[in-house]
Amino acid sequence: MDTTNVVHVMKVRIIKMGWTAVFSLLISTAVMAQGYKSYDITVDGDTINIIDANGKKQGPWVLRVEEVRGEPGYEEEGMFKDDYKNGYWRRYSLQGDLMGVEHYKFGGKDGLQQYFTFFGNLEREENWRGYNPDAPYDTIAVYGAGSNEIVDFKIVKAEPYSVRHGVWKYYDEGRLMRSEEYDRNNLVIPKETATAPVKEKPKEVEKTAEMLEWEKKNRGKKGALRDGRTGM
């Protein structure tokens, strides 16, 4: 095909489409050149929701969930890396109110997560432990039946996962109402600090003048026994 004609056709298209459309066309051409299977372009010309040649989600994404059976819908935005949520994600109501800030590592929640009411007040804080790909094995605590005591440890092959780990806090209009702590998905039961009862000293009887006089006279005598009489 004559390259001169191709250039001429492109020029005609540019004139008819306008610069905004041309900019989008150039982005589309660049994206397709990278071998992406699909993607979206925002009104600002940003490329989002990329699915690469291997079918994996990559880069910035915006997900929308519609209202279902009375459950409110929401939108969330964040980054995908090799098909896994990664880094900070923010969740909004369909009206645009911030509902939560989450942190992910390889698709699982990791670290502090915060959730808010529709009025912008902090509702709860969660702490999670995510999978660490640099550690192929993990040490898991084994708890005794019906107790919170660790009786053994097991080394297992680590798989992508996320467990409750750390302090969870619940708020009401900004006031902390209660908190609980987890150790790798096990609720930590606070140990009661039992204190031994304090033994009280017997109360000393105040001695009368007669008692003091009797003790003085009978000090050192064997078998001396006071019979309760007040006479000498």
Give the tens place of pLDDT for each residue, 165-195: 999 999 998 899 999 999 988 999 887 654 5
- Position 49 pLDDT exceeds 50: yes
- The 10s digit of each residue's pLDDT in 121-161 is 999 999 999 876 666 666 777 777 766 678 788 776 666 67
CB 75, CB 63: distance < 8 Å: yes
Return d(Cα 110, Cα 123) in angstroms, integer.
Answer: 19
Return d(Cα 35, Cα 21) in angstroms, integer.
Answer: 21
Hey, how many other C-beta atoms are within 10 angstroms of the C-beta on 177?
10
- The 10s digit of each residue's pLDDT in 2-47 is 444 433 333 333 333 454 444 454 455 455 546 899 999 999 999 9
Q: Is the dihedral of CA 75, 80, 82, 86 positive or negative?
A: negative
**Worst-scoring range by mean pLDDT, 27-31, 92-96, 146-150, 196-200?**
27-31
Mean pLDDT of the chain: 78
What are the tokens at 23? 């900019």
Q: What is the pLDDT of residue 4?
A: 41
User: Long-range CB contacts (< 8 A, 24+ apart) of 94-100?
Assistant: 94/67, 99/74
Q: What is the pLDDT of residue 153?
A: 81
Return d(Cα 152, Cα 144) in angstroms, integer.
Answer: 9
Residue 89 pairs in a beta bridge with: 102
**What does pTM read for this prediction?**
0.60
Average pLDDT over residues 201-224: 69
- Position 117 pLDDT exceeds 70: yes
